[in-house]
Amino acid sequence: MSKTIDADLVRHIGKLSRIELGDAEVETLGRQIGAVLEYFDKLQQLDTEGVEPMAHAIELTNVLAEDVLKPSLTPDQALANAPARDENFFMVPKVLGESS
Amino acid sequence: MSNITEMSAASLACAIAGGEITSVQSTQAYLDAIEAREGDIQAYNEVLADHALQQAREIDAKIAAGQNPGPLAGVPIAIKDNLCTTYGHTTCASKYLTNFQAPYMSTAVAKLQAAGAVIIGKCNMDEFAMGSSTENSSVKITRNPWDISRVPGGSSGGSAAAVAGDMCAASLGSDTGGSIRQPAAFCGVVGFKPTYGRVSRYGLVAFGSSLDQIGPLTKTVTDAALITGVIAGHDDHDATSLPNPVPDYLADIDKPVENLRIGLPTEFFAGAAGALSPDVKAAIDQAIDTYKNLGAEIVEVSLPHSRIDIDEAGGLSSFAVACYYIVCTAECSSNLARFDGVHYGHRTNDELTDIIELYSRSRAESLGDEVKRRIMLGNYSLSSGYYDAYYNKALKVRRLIAQDFAKAFENCDVILCPTTPTPAFKIGEKTDNPLEMYAADIFTISVNLAGLPGISLPAGFSNDDPKLPIGVQLIGPVLSEENLLRTARMFEKNRIQDSVETKTEHEFHG
């Protein structure tokens, strides 16, 4: 039997991930994520003392570009796929309170 | 003249540039083939018929005017649906992007067009390239042209099935852990993942940014060389694209590599004896014999951190797979944070007053199960308290894996191994068990972690009824594309094969 992570932890990760979860989903994900995490634990068998972490396989450093203006998207192009728009703004529910 | 849809991309381009066929004829032939077979195969999320015919007419006009139409003159090429195109849609097979129309062009597709290619459609895939069977698509299930009860592999399953089904001359896919090579093996075509950074990722919807690489799926090795030569190169829009000049991959493609040393990793052969289906094992042994006949020296090498373990139930696991899924889920959790229901894509219809709820519900409604799992796994292993145990540990193991390859390449030029442990599996066979699905990439995953070029080549067939293609994988050191492609071409030309094989024999006439 593989390990399961508890419902509170699943909900916490759901919140970090900005994904709303139903109760049935919490149960299934707890089981599935638990199984994968157990698989991840396999790496603990390896001694990595003193090994430098490798974030990129081809380690390019200091990639610089000239600081010049280049063509980019127009506001209309950038907003063309917006689900809700007001002139040149993306629309979202009110974030700040009444007293600003 | 052979049937247009059975020609290689290189020979088709020659025939079109030479005036034997028009680009419109070739495009129409492929549109007819799609019309005839798409019902069974379901490779395309969108067929760009009008747009393709318009491009074809422009190519024909160029040729009529005596202008150079480019090395891919009039060749119909299909594009994985995670590469942005300014026409049609770019959906990543996700409900989140169902109606998304990209405002800019991916560099790889722009380069294909500039070389005269006709973009014929957008191919199905696992949602956001997360999967190994294309069953994680929210659009539809793509079927393997060799046996429609089986998967085409994934995540570039539509791109592989379209080439195998003669529904395009070639296609582009993306490979994060095997997503070009594994479907190429399952569908009996050539699939090439170049060195990380060889092809610009600009306009490729990101999944695992340190692993993702664009590459071609083709009918021949020469086509893979031709297309890679077109799409490779530095791009100001992608700081990780490599500045090294792009060699002419076609110049010596037919010249055998001299003093070739082929490395066989112990861990993938003796060490994985129980992991391979007998048919795959036979095909790989035959591939080794092909190279022996060509005078190659066969040497034993070791990739200890890519070792394959088999549990009592026959399940496969490896350090590389564990390392990969930590790295790719971490990168995916960050990359997919951009899908917020605000800038583009799906937004919940519910009237919500809280923006966090808006993000969370829009994502919950539109992302598939595997995508949610991976985002959550990534956020877990990056979160405070777990970072060192998971993410940082994986990055250290990643270095060990890359060092194994560097050491192995001191004694050989190319590593040979299977692309997959088995031929294509049945639709639905592995959908309930993510870990079993992850094992489908057990031979391909280390290559991405180490940033190396890898190619899968058709290497024979299984004894199933109907027979299923088997792939052999060749892996080279960083930026060894030229040598790797030549080595692959040697195999394609001289492969020992059974007389029953006919379907994939596409002669190169160029």
Give the per-residue pLDDT at A2: 61
Return the structure tokens found at B238: 């992608």
Give the per-residue pLDDT at B509: 32
Q: pLDDT for B237-276, tens place per residue? A: 999 999 999 999 999 999 999 999 999 999 999 878 788 9
Give the per-residue pLDDT at A1: 43
Sign of the torsion angle spanned by Cα atoms B114, B117, B122, B125: negative
| Partner residue facing A80 (CB), from B101, B323, B478 | B101
Q: pLDDT for B372-405, tens place per residue? A: 999 999 999 999 889 999 999 999 999 999 999 9
Across chain B, what does the average pLDDT equal? 95
CA distance B174 to chain A (A): 17
What CA–CA distance (Å, rounded) separates B199 from B205?
Answer: 14
Give the per-residue pLDDT at B434: 82
Suggest the residue from A2, A28, A43, A77 to mutate for an interface test with chain B (most B CBs closer than 10 A): A43
pLDDT mean over B197-201: 98
pLDDT mean over B341-355: 96
Residue in A closest to B339 by C-alpha: A18
Identity (one letter) of the amino acid at B53?
L
Identity (one letter) of the amino acid at B394?
A
| Partner residue facing A16 (CB), from B196, B342, B383 | B383
Pairing status of strand A89-90 against strand A85-86: antiparallel
Q: pLDDT for A33-71, tens place per residue? A: 999 999 999 999 999 999 999 999 988 888 888 899 988
Quote the percentage of chain B above a pLDDT of 70: 97
Return the structure tokens found at B292: 């022996």
What CA–CA distance (Å, rounded) separates B180 from B203?
Answer: 18
Question: Is the separation of the CB atoms in B327 and A55 below 8 Å?
Answer: no
Residue B111 annotated among the catalytic residues of the structure: no
Position A100 pLDDT exceeds 90: no
Split at pLDDT 50, 70, 90, the class of B2 is low
Rounded (5°) CA angle B110-B115-B118:
75
Long-range contacts of B285-292 (CB under 8 A, 24+ apart): B286/B459, B286/B460, B286/B495, B286/B496, B286/B497, B287/B416, B287/B459, B287/B460, B287/B472, B287/B491, B287/B495, B288/B262, B288/B264, B288/B416, B289/B496, B290/B491, B290/B494, B290/B495, B290/B496, B291/B260, B291/B262, B291/B416, B291/B490, B291/B491
- Residues in CB range of B264: below 8 A, 6 or more apart: B288, B298, B299, B300, B301, B415, B416, B417
What CA–CA distance (Å, rounded) separates B150 from B422?
Answer: 12
Q: Is A58 on the interface with B (CB under 8 A)?
A: yes
Position B23 pLDDT exceeds 50: yes
The secondary structure of residue B139, as a DSSP letter, is S
Strand segments (E) across chain A = 85-86, 89-90
Quote the percentage of chain A above a pLDDT of 70: 95
- Residues in CB range of A80: below 8 A, 6 or more apart: B101, B103
Is residue B279 helix, strand or coil?
helix
Give the per-residue pLDDT at B343: 97
CA distance A78 to chain B (A): 7
| Partner residue facing A83 (CB), from B341, B373, B449 | B341
- Residues in CB range of B243: below 8 A, 6 or more apart: B234
The secondary structure of residue B246, as a DSSP letter, is P
B360 contacts in chain A (CB < 8 Å): 14-15, 18-20
Catalytic pick from B23, B26, B62, B80?
B80
What CA–CA distance (Å, rounded) separates B397 from A48?
Answer: 7
Residue B133 annotated among the catalytic residues of the structure: no
Residue A81: other Cβ atoms inside 10 A: 16
Give the per-residue pLDDT at B498: 61
A49 contacts in chain B (CB < 8 Å): none
Residue B80 annotated among the catalytic residues of the structure: yes
Cβ of B345 and A48 within 8 Å?
no
Q: What is the pTM of this model?
A: 0.96
Suggest the residue from A3, A18, A96 to mutate for an interface test with chain B (most B CBs closer than 10 A): A18
Cβ of A81 and B400 within 8 Å?
no
Question: Is the separation of the CB atoms in B194 and B222 below 8 Å?
Answer: no
B240 contacts in chain A (CB < 8 Å): 56, 58, 60, 63
Is residue B320 helix, strand or coil?
helix
A54 contacts in chain B (CB < 8 Å): 395-396, 398-399, 402
Tally of residues, chain A: 100
B383 contacts in chain A (CB < 8 Å): 13, 16
Give the per-residue pLDDT at B275: 86
Instruction: Using alpha carbons, list the distances in angstroms from residue B43 to A53, B86, B114.
Output: 39, 21, 25
Catalytic pick from B179, B200, B362, B462?
B179
Interface size A-B, in CB pairs within 8 Å, comes to: 168
Helices (H), B417-510: 434-438, 445-449, 481-494
Suggest the residue from B361, B366, B377 to mutate for an interface test with chain A (most A CBs closer than 10 A): B377
Give the per-residue pLDDT at B502: 45
Split at pLDDT 50, 70, 90, the class of B496 is confident
Cβ of A58 and B449 within 8 Å?
no
Nearest to B124 by CA among B3, B8, B34, B10: B34
Give the per-residue pLDDT at A62: 82
B340 contacts in chain A (CB < 8 Å): 18
Residue in A closest to B235 by C-alpha: A65
Question: Is the separation of the CB atoms in B266 and B302 below 8 Å?
Answer: yes
Residue in B closest to A52 by C-alpha: B396
Position B504 pLDDT exceeds 60: no
Query: Which ipTM was obtained for this model?
Result: 0.94
Identity (one letter) of the amino acid at A38?
E
Q: pLDDT for B69-88, tens place per residue? A: 999 999 999 999 999 999 99
| Partner residue facing A57 (CB), from B342, B372, B402 | B402
Pairing status of strand B118-123 against strand B76-80: parallel
